[in-house]
Amino acid sequence: MPSEDSFLRDDLAFTAQDGQWSTLTEELQLALAREALRRAAETLAEHAELLALEMETGALRDQGGPEALRLFAAVVRTTTEDGLGPVGHA
């Protein structure tokens, strides 16, 4: 059975080819939107971690930010996992 990731990739390719979001089922639109939000949240968390590391290594001026950024990253990840979860898992 194909994985959920391959299912999403196939559907994203379909959407990119015809450019018609409205031709997708509501269920698929919701799944794609949730996956986009999950990826955006993970990107934010990764950037927060990177900024914290930059502050710790001295590349950026540290004003107490690394721990705050790590807290932010943890909150983003936790709320994303709780609120969105992986696609296809109710």
Span 47-57, pLDDT tens digits: 888 888 887 88
pLDDT surpasses 60 at 27:
yes
Looking at 1-90, list the stretches that DSSP marks H as alpha helix, in order from N- to C-terminal side.
4-18, 26-57, 65-83
Q: Identify the residue whose tokens are 């196939």.
A: 10
Q: What Cα–Cα distance (Å) separates residue 9 from each residue in 12, 25, 42, 81? A: 5, 16, 18, 21
Average pLDDT over residues 1-12: 56
pLDDT surpasses 60 at 14:
no
Q: Which residue has the higher pLDDT, 52 or 28?
A: 28
Q: Could you report the per-residue pLDDT of 64-89, keeping only the tens digit for each?
A: 777 787 877 887 788 776 655 555 55
Given this model, what pLDDT does residue 90 score?
A: 47
